[in-house]
Structure 1
Amino acid sequence: MNETPNPAAHPDAAAAAAPETQAAAPAPAPTLEEQLAALQAKLTEANDSFLRAKAEAENTRRRAEEEVSKARKFAVEAFAESLLPVKDSLEAALAIQNATNEQLLEGTNATLRQLSAALERNKVLAINPPAGTKFDPHQHQAISVVPAEQDANTVVTVLQRGYLIADRVLRPALVTVAAPK
């Protein structure tokens, strides 16, 4: 005999069937006012995030501008600081009233060494090509072309040293160049 179980007859079966019925009931749809309030809250949150991001970007831009301004303003500070001993040496030399030629020569050489060291520390390097070096118009300035017993378009003599600063020509070397044969 096929009997359909009666939930009322079995209390455990009725309790097990009840949660399914409760879970199967659809949740009530949010009202338009609730949807509007949720969207307004999201808008307020997004607007707040936007304003914070905008303020952070503005602060970053302002800090970067200040750093660039300070870098420009104090760029020569290290260079000037390395030249101060050279100035001190020259002033000390002028303060000596009865210096001998030997003393003047010795002081001048010491001051030149100080100046050369200061320039090297600040990446100012001399352009002093040896004789026979191929003429480079980017680093050399030809003053004259002279007949010489070497290849044409090569440096014969350096009349004045040139200088580089960080691989950029500050002043080209003044040179004489060998004439074509």
Structure 2
Amino acid sequence: MATEQNEQAQELEQENTEQHAQPQAEDAKSTSEVTVEDLQAQVAKLQDELKYEKARAANATYEAEKTKERLEREADTAKKFALEKFAKELLDTVDNLERAIVAAGEEQTPLREGVELTLKGLLTTLEKFGVVAVDTENGFNADFHQAVGIAPDAKAGEVGTVLQKGYTLSGRLLRPAMVLVGQ
């Protein structure tokens, strides 16, 4: 009886195994087919995501480069024009030294010579740092000259008298030249 029960139990177990094995084999077959299709779809999806991420990374790199270049340009500009306020203040000293030379007259005294040397040294230092006098010889230019009156003896469009010199700092107008212009 025990042997019979064991045999029945084994038969039941074998039947259960066979029943489970058939659907599992069918499931495995359909799963492998679905998995291949799913994997192909997933691969395509991942390739699209990879393209997208590569494009985002390239864009981020491009933006970083542009930002770096912009910051370098801004730093260069800031370096160039950092002296702007200081140079403007020194222009008053240049004007005063030029007035002192005019007031000393034509006589060459040691005092006049000292003022001329001081002015020359100051102008050389300003030029070294990009401060240059505005050209008044080649006619009136509204970008660099400020017309404050009419010079009766000058031709039309030409600078007659320079009342105050103008200066530029690295090509940027620091102070316009105050001039009388011909009509």
TM-score calculated relative to the size of structure 1: 0.52
Aligned to 1:126: 133
1:125 & 1:37 partners in 2: Cα distance? 72
* Cα RMSD (Å): 3.5
Aligned residue type for 2:160? V
Aligned to 1:111: 122
Aligned to 1:42: 44
Percent identity of paired positions between Structure 1 and Structure 2: 25
Q: 1:143 to 1:110 in 2, by over 3 A?
A: same
Does the 8 Å CA contact 2:148/2:179 hold for their aligned counterparts? yes
TM-score calculated relative to the size of structure 2: 0.51
2:47 & 2:180 partners in 1: Cα distance? 74
Q: Structure 2: which 5+ residue stretches go unaligned?
A: 1-32, 91-109
Deviation (angstroms), 1:33: 4.7
Aligned to 2:181: 177
5 Å matches for 1:1-181?
33-73=35-75, 75-77=77-79, 101=111, 103=114, 105-119=116-130, 124-130=131-137, 133-148=138-153, 150-164=154-168, 169-179=173-183
- SS of structure 2 residue aligned to 1:144: strand
Q: 1:106 to 1:157 in 2, by over 3 A?
A: same
Deviation (angstroms), 1:144: 1.0
Q: Counting helix residues as a fraction of each chain, which structure ranks higher?
A: 2
Paired residues in the alignment total: 127
